[in-house]
């Protein structure tokens, strides 16, 4: 069966926000994309794994020439970035994106490429639950290098018309991690900085001291909803719990 055209799942959340996910990708790499509609322009937070072309599977996403904002330089967030005319990322993430990020759909190979410590836990050989079409060869998977057309730093603002997002530079998971905050609605798009699950702070370029400062900032942030890079959205109370749990566990 050719599942290319149902590879991505779209869920409109109201208020001009659509969550796009990749349910056929295994948990480690199954990330969220967030499609935000402004009156002048659209923006897409992260671009998925890039196994299936977004232009082919979700052509309506490109109707208004959206700006793709990449929360950080990991394959499951930037695989589709080369499909966009304009891409933005933090200055600290741009060199890795231009070089082409390490990428594989083979679990053990990816873990070795990224320097992930699995603590003896088995990683599946294929990081997809099913192939997009029978002829798909996962060994051909690559992430195209991304030319960042707009570099971002902390405090930058992106105006889409009727909708403005503020860039927060929140390093720790990687040096170039950013989140977008829509102050009007109290919505935070957090990438891998915080989600409701096991956070990763032990990659070769992770920085636990920076991650602690990030979590202290998040614990005090005035938000109503967090739309993360993985898994379900959550509220401010849960954000504070997750930040407190990180600060408690990393304080040793």
Which positions touch Zn ion (CB under 5 A)?
74, 192
- Of 42 and 192, which CB lies nearer to Zn ion in the complex structure? 192
Neighbouring CB atoms inside 10 A of 14's CB total: 6
Cα 168 from chain centroid? 14
- Of 87 and 163, which CB lies nearer to Zn ion in the complex structure? 87
- Of 93 and 243, which CB lies nearer to Zn ion in the complex structure? 93
- Of 74 and 82, which CB lies nearer to Zn ion in the complex structure? 74
Using DSSP's 3-state secondary structure scheme, residue 240 falls into: helix
In the complex, least distance from residue 149 CB atom to Zn ion, rounded to whole angstroms: 22
In the complex, least distance from residue 230 CB atom to Zn ion, rounded to whole angstroms: 9
- Of 42 and 76, which CB lies nearer to Zn ion in the complex structure? 76
In the complex, least distance from residue 200 CB atom to Zn ion, rounded to whole angstroms: 6
Beta strands in the chain (DSSP E): 9-14, 17-21, 32-37, 42-45, 67-69, 86-90, 150-152, 157-159, 164-169, 178-182, 187-191, 225-228, 234-235
- Of 59 and 197, which CB lies nearer to Zn ion in the complex structure? 197
In the complex, least distance from residue 75 CB atom to Zn ion, rounded to whole angstroms: 9
Q: In what order do the strands lie in the sheet with 164-169?
A: 157-159, 164-169, 178-182, 187-191, 225-228, 234-235
In the complex, least distance from residue 59 CB atom to Zn ion, rounded to whole angstroms: 27
- Of 73 and 88, which CB lies nearer to Zn ion in the complex structure? 73
Residue 79 and residue 82: Cα distance in Å, rounded?
Answer: 7
- Those residues whose C-beta lies under 8 Å from the C-beta of residue 102, and which sit 6 or more positions away, are 75, 110, 113, 114
- Those residues whose C-beta lies under 8 Å from the C-beta of residue 186, and which sit 6 or more positions away, are 222, 223, 224, 225, 236
In the complex, least distance from residue 193 CB atom to Zn ion, rounded to whole angstroms: 9
In the complex, least distance from residue 142 CB atom to Zn ion, rounded to whole angstroms: 18
Tokens of 242: 């997750």
Strand 178-182 to 164-169 pairing? antiparallel
């Amino acid at each position: 069966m050719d599942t290319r055209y149902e590879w991505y799942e779209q869920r409109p959340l109201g208020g001009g926000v659509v969550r796009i996910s990749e349910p056929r990708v295994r948990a480690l790499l199954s990330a969220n994309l967030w499609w935000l509609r402004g009156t002048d322009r659209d923006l897409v937070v992260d671009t998925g794994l890039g196994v299936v072309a977004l232009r082919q599977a979700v052509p309506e996403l490109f109707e208004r020439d959206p700006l793709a904002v990449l929360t950080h330089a990991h394959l499951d967030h930037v695989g589709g970035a080369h499909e966009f005319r304009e891409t933005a990322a933090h200055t600290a993430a741009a060199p890795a994106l231009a070089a082409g990020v390490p990428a594989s759909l083979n679990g053990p190979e990816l873990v070795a490429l990224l320097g992930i410590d699995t603590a003896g836990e088995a990683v599946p050989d294929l990081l997809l639950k099913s192939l997009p079409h029978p002829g798909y060869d996962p060994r051909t998977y690559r992430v195209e290098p991304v030319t960042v057309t707009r570099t971002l730093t902390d405090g930058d603002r992106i105006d889409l018309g009727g909708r403005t997002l503020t860039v927060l530079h929140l390093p720790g998971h990687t040096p170039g991690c950013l989140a977008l905050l829509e102050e009007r609605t109290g919505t935070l798009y957090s990438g891998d900085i915080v989600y409701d699950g096991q956070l990763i702070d032990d990659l070769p370029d992770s920085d636990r001291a920076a991650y602690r400062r990030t979590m202290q900032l998040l614990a005090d942030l005035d938000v109503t909803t967090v739309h993360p890079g993985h898994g379900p959205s959550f509220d401010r109370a849960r954000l504070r719990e997750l930040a407190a749990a990180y600060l408690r566990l990393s304080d040793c």
